[in-house]
Structure 1
Amino acid sequence: MKRRSFLAGASASFGLGSLTAPSWAAAGAPDFITAGNRTDKTSWLVGLTRAGDVVFQIAIPSRGHAAAVNPEAAQAVAFARRPGRFAVVIDCANGREIARLETPEGRHFYGHGAFSADGRTLFTTENDFDAPAGVLGIWDVSDSYRRVGEVSSGGIGPHEILRLPDGGIVVANGGIQTHPNMERAKLNLPTMQTNLTYLNTEASIVDQIELTGAMHQNSVRHIAIDGDGGVVAALQWQGAPTRKVPLVMRHRIGTSVEFLSHPDQHLLKNYAGSIAVCPQTGEIAVTGPKGSTIIYFTQTGRSAGSAARSTASGVAPAPDGGLMITCDGGLVHRVDGAETFVPVDPEWSWDNHLIAL
Structure 2
Amino acid sequence: MPGLAVGSRVPPRRRRQAPSAATIPRPTSPRCCRCRPATTWTLPPHRCRLSRPRYCAWPTTGTGRGSCTPTSTRSSPCISSSLFPHPPPICQGELKLPVCIEDETNTELPPATLLYRLARQYIYGVLFSLSETQRRAERLAMRRRIPVQVPLVIIKEWSAYKGKSPQTPELVTGLTFREWTCPNIKKLWLGKAVEDKNRRMRAFLACMKSDTPGMLNPANVPTHLLLLCCVLRYMVQWPGSRILHKHELDAFLAQAVSSKLYQPDQLQELKIEKLDARGIQLAALFMSGVDTALFANDTCGQPIPWEHCCPWIYFDGKLLHSKFVQATREKAALIDLCDGQVGAGLSAKQTWPPTLPVPISLQPSPRLGPVCV
Q: TM-score, normalised by structure 1?
A: 0.25
Higher helix share: 2
Higher strand share: 1
Pick the structure with greater CA Rg. 2
